[in-house]
Amino acid sequence: MPNQSTPAMIWAITKKILPYLIPTLGLKLIVWFCEREDWWPTIQNPGIIIGVIGFGIAILLGAKLSVVNGRLYAIEDAVCRIVGSLRVLHLKSKLGKSSIEWAQMFEKTLGEPSEANINSMRKKTNLLIKTILDNGHDGGHLSNFSRDLSYVLHRATAEIPVAYELFLAMIIFLYTIVVAVIVPGMGGFVGIFILVVVLFGASVLIEDMDHPLDTQSLIVVNLEPLKSFIKQNEVQI
């Protein structure tokens, strides 16, 4: 995860929320002005509407959080298993240099998981496996190694389905408008502020978790085991 101080992390989150908070408070200010001039109708029992929409958002956000959080830790676990296999390969004769070269390319691919880099990584892996087998080493553990690598490379670019994202964004937007419109007075301002901080803040953080290999994200995969292995055994490619 990014090595940032607590104040820096709070400011980074705040910067992501502000683009949603400012226009939403502006909308509420317009509604409040209309309320003062008696241009705005009073809606009875708004709690039912707010509660129903809020319940739906909680379910959708919770489901998305469960998926992206599980994916993040699954990638970390797979990387740890890959590093364990690399340590074994590195100790075998004639495979030390090849394993480090492969690890360096793997780290680069995770840092820039483009389609071209992923395809190059797959080709590099095929060459490494061929080298292992050509040197007469037991390839029994290679199936697990290949499976973990395939999983990481696939998850490097996988995202929550677009339709799900759009539907969730639509509901959050609708919920925000409803609160701004039907909750009157100062309570509406307080409600909008809390709503944006909680819902949009959670949405932003979960969206960052959906891109766990993006170095600009606030929550990223911990690649320290891989970096440590390379640093301890580094050679020039």
Lowest mean pLDDT among 115-119, 136-140, 163-167: 136-140
| DSSP per-residue string spanning 105-167 | HHHHHHHS--HHHHHHHHHHHHHHHHHHHHTT---TTHHHHHHHHHHHHHHTT----HHHHHH
How much of the chain is in helix, strand and coil states, percent to nearest 5?
A: 75, 0, 25
pLDDT at residue 236, rounded to an integer = 46
Query: Rounded to whole angstroms, how far apart are CA atoms 108 and 23?
Result: 39
Q: Is the pLDDT assigned to residue 69 strictly greater than 70? A: yes
Each residue's pLDDT tens digit, 184-212 = 878 888 888 998 899 888 988 888 888 88
CA angle 167, 26, 60 (to 5 degrees): 20
Q: Is the pLDDT assigned to residue 2 strictly greater than 70? A: no
pLDDT band per the 50, 70, 90 thresholds, residue 38:
confident
Each residue's pLDDT tens digit, 95-110 = 788 889 999 999 999 9
pLDDT at residue 229, rounded to an integer = 92
pLDDT band per the 50, 70, 90 thresholds, residue 34:
confident
Helix, coil or strand: residue 40? coil
pLDDT at residue 106, rounded to an integer = 94
Lowest mean pLDDT among 35-49, 114-128, 175-189: 35-49
Query: Residue 46 corresponds to which tokens in the numbers above?
Result: 């708004």
pLDDT band per the 50, 70, 90 thresholds, residue 137:
low
pLDDT band per the 50, 70, 90 thresholds, residue 119:
very high
Each residue's pLDDT tens digit, 139-177 = 567 888 889 999 999 988 888 888 988 998 888 888 888
Q: Is the pLDDT assigned to residue 4 strictly greater than 80? A: no
Mean pLDDT over each residue of the chain, to the nearest integer = 85
